[in-house]
Amino acid sequence: MDYVPAKTIITRTKDSKWFGHDYNMNLYRGCCHGCIYCDSRSDCYQVGDFDRVRAKENALTIIRDELRRKVKTGVVGSGAMSDPYNPFEKELELSRHALELMDAFGFGSSTATKSDLIVRDIDVLSSIREHSPVLCKLTITAIEDEMSRKVEPGAPVSSRRFAALEALSSAGIFAGILLMPVLPFLEDTEENVLGIVRRAKDCGARFIYPAFGMTMRNGQREHYLEQLERIFPGEGLRERYRKEYGSCYQCTSSRARALWDKFSRECGQLGILYRMDDIIHAYKRGYEYTQLRLF
């Protein structure tokens, strides 16, 4: 494990429209889950050798000092640029100790991950939930383990993430699914999308937030197309993407509208939230007074 210097780790968000985050936190740089579609390997982020995980130097000391200096408490989001539960976290426990600091200083937590290691920290998340909002987002893009192994080769397979979702939900933690990206020509089928919705319901998911398509920036695009050719040889996927999207940044599935109609109808019938405002309102409900009192 290499370490990289850091002056600050917890930064104020420009707005709180994305899951109601007030602050962002990235303890690690890079990721070894190897997801072929990852936007974080784009040139604009300037993360060299993205597949090599590096931890932030003196991370816990910096986080302690930054939380202590904050005038206002709020929800700290993690997992935007690198997964906080990469395999190295099992030994380093940086994410766990960061959660303990959030608990100590009265902050809430919102975590996005593809790892079932998050269930290790249910005790800390439950402690935070006593005073502040807690939100756990498991990224699941494929109902079948076979597909998740291909497009997310270094991450736990989908079935393990569903099991983690069930464990979090059973513990009373507000948890759900990030259904994104839904890869065009691979995952944008009714069978896959509705299969995820129904399995999520069985696991006690409170929400599913989707994106029927993907983004492709410079750096990311070249990597993704190369991986398609390697993993799905002879299927002509590279050429299909070039023909359909060219150099577009936003690559929306041609089936997006039909999928949204079926997805939203199914979620409505099963009582699963799927609109951002509703998700934020639901997981923060009952904490408004507590946050004001702490302030």
For residue 195 the two structure tokens come to 């299969």
Question: How many CB atoms lie under 10 A from the CB of residue 93?
Answer: 15
- Please tell me the predicted confidence (pLDDT) of residue 51: 80
For residue 86 the two structure tokens come to 């990469």
Q: For residue 208, which phi and psi values (nearest 5 degrees)?
A: -140, 125
Question: What are the percentages of helix, strand and coil residues in the chain, rounded to 5?
Answer: 45, 15, 40
- Please tell me the predicted confidence (pLDDT) of residue 52: 87
- Please tell me the predicted confidence (pLDDT) of residue 147: 97
Burial of 234 (0-12, 13-18, 19+ CB in 10 A): exposed
191 vs 80, residue with greater confidence? 191
Give 71-130 pLDDT, tens digit per residue.
899 999 999 888 999 999 999 999 999 999 999 999 999 999 999 999 999 999 999 999
CATH classification code of 2-294: 3.20.20.70
- Please tell me the predicted confidence (pLDDT) of residue 268: 97
Average pLDDT, the chain: 93
Q: Which of 77, 101, 133 is nearest to 290 (CA)?
A: 133
pTM: 0.93
Q: 177 - beta bridge partners? A: 138, 208
Q: Which of 137, 236, 125 is nearest to 173 (CA)?
A: 125
- Please tell me the predicted confidence (pLDDT) of residue 46: 65
Stretch 43-69: mean pLDDT: 88
- Is the distance from CB of 233 to CB of 204 less than 8 angstroms? no
Say which amino acid occupies 17. K
- Is the distance from CB of 33 to CB of 154 less than 8 angstroms? yes
Give yes or no for residue 193 having a pLDDT over 60. yes
Give yes or no for residue 291 having a pLDDT over 80. no
Stretch 182-187: mean pLDDT: 97
Give 234-268 pLDDT, tens digit per residue.
899 999 999 999 888 999 999 999 999 999 999 99
- Please tell me the predicted confidence (pLDDT) of residue 219: 82
